[in-house]
């Protein structure tokens, strides 16, 4: 039986079900007791937010591989206030190591988003302001958002994925979940997700 769930991955949780290191960090198995399902893509240990898990290998490939360009949207708290030049560079794509990032949608948020507090909280520096950005990518390279903001001089302090696009009209959303909570996809979400197999 095919299964599809959405999970709000908390900070400090490995995006896998086992940890071979000596540190014995928290993994997905502390939260999800469903056998033989796997994350679609990854979120780093220090990132939070929406994770899709399934036992459908085809869906896993179609959503996660960058050649299919499914949009992923993140709320990103950065150190200091990015200027227009930095935002423009992020939007156009920048060189990171041996590749250029694709064009991205990037906008400054006028207000701090309503998110649960992070545990532990980000480091607070009285004399250094912070800013929240909304960044939408169509690829998910290793630590890409963090590398992008660092490359333009504004290090990422907090990173929360809030949506994964199924197609141009429909998205899977973090909304309604709290850190550590998961739910099955609704029948409408599952129908939309399965429809990409026929595209």
Residue 78 sits in the same domain as residue 136: yes
Portion of the chain with pLDDT greater than 70, in percent: 99
Whether the predicted pLDDT of 194 surpasses 80: yes
Say how many Å lie between the first and final Cα of the chain, rounded: 22
Residue 26 sits in the same domain as residue 36: yes
CATH number at 176 reads: 3.30.70.580
Residue 82 sits in the same domain as residue 145: yes
Across the range 152-157, mean pLDDT stands at 96
Whether the predicted pLDDT of 67 surpasses 90: no
Residue 53 sits in the same domain as residue 25: yes
Q: Give 123 or 72, the one with higher predicted confidence.
A: 72
**Neighbouring C-beta atoms of residue 18, cutoff 10 Å:** 9
Assign 198 a pLDDT band (cuts: 50, 70, 90). confident
The domain tally of the chain equals 2
Residue 76 sits in the same domain as residue 159: yes
Q: Please, what is the average pLDDT of the chain?
A: 93
Residue 88 sits in the same domain as residue 131: yes
Across the range 16-33, mean pLDDT stands at 88
Residue 59 sits in the same domain as residue 128: no
Whether the predicted pLDDT of 22 surpasses 80: no
pTM of the predicted protein model? 0.94
Quick one: CA torsion of 29, 31, 65, 2, rounded to 10 degrees? 90
- Give me the pLDDT at residue 144, please: 94
**Residues 104-118 pLDDT 10s:** 999 999 999 999 999
CATH number at 133 reads: 3.30.70.1560
Residue 181 sits in the same domain as residue 147: no
User: Which one from 44, 46, 84, 98 is the annotated catalytic residue?
Assistant: 44
Which parts of 17-173 are beta strand (E)? 38-39, 48-54, 72-79, 95-96, 99-100, 105-108, 130-137, 156-165, 171-173
Coil, helix or strand for 33? coil
What is the domain extent for residue 185? 1-69+172-199
Assign 199 a pLDDT band (cuts: 50, 70, 90). low
- Give me the pLDDT at residue 126, please: 81
Residue 47 sits in the same domain as residue 86: no
Residue 96 sits in the same domain as residue 160: yes
- Give me the pLDDT at residue 125, please: 80
**Residues 174-189 pLDDT 10s:** 999 999 999 999 999 9
- Give me the pLDDT at residue 180, please: 97
Q: Are the C-beta atoms of 135 and 90 separated by less than 8 Å?
A: yes
Residue 119 sits in the same domain as residue 55: no
- Give me the pLDDT at residue 86, please: 97
Catalytic: 98?
no
Kindly give the interhelix angle for 84-92 and 144-151, rounded to the nearest 10 degrees. 140
Phi, psi of 117 (to 5 degrees): -60, 145
């Amino acid at each position: 039986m095919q299964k599809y769930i959405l999970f709000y991955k908390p900070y400090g949780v490995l995006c896998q079900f086992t940890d071979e290191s000596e540190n014995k960090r928290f993994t997905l198995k502390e939260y999800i007791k469903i056998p033989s399902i796997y994350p679609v893509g990854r979120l780093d240990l220090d990132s939070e937010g929406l994770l899709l898990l399934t036992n459908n290998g085809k869906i896993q490939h179609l959503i996660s591989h960058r050649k299919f360009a499914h949009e992923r949207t993140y709320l990103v708290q950065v150190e200091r206030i990015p200027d227009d030049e930095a935002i423009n560079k992020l939007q156009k794509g920048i060189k990171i190591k041996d590749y250029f990032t694709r064009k991205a949608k990037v906008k400054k948020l006028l207000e701090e988003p309503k998110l649960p507090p992070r545990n532990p909280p980000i480091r607070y520096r009285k004399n250094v302001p912070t800013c929240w950005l909304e960044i939408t990518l169509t690829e998910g390279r290793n630590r890409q958002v963090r590398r992008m903001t660092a490359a333009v001089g504004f290090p990422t302090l907090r990173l929360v994925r809030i949506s994964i696009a199924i197609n141009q009209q429909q998205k899977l959303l973090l909304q309604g979940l709290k850190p550590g909570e998961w739910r099955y996809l609704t029948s409408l979400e599952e129908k939309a997700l399965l429809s990409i197999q026929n595209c």
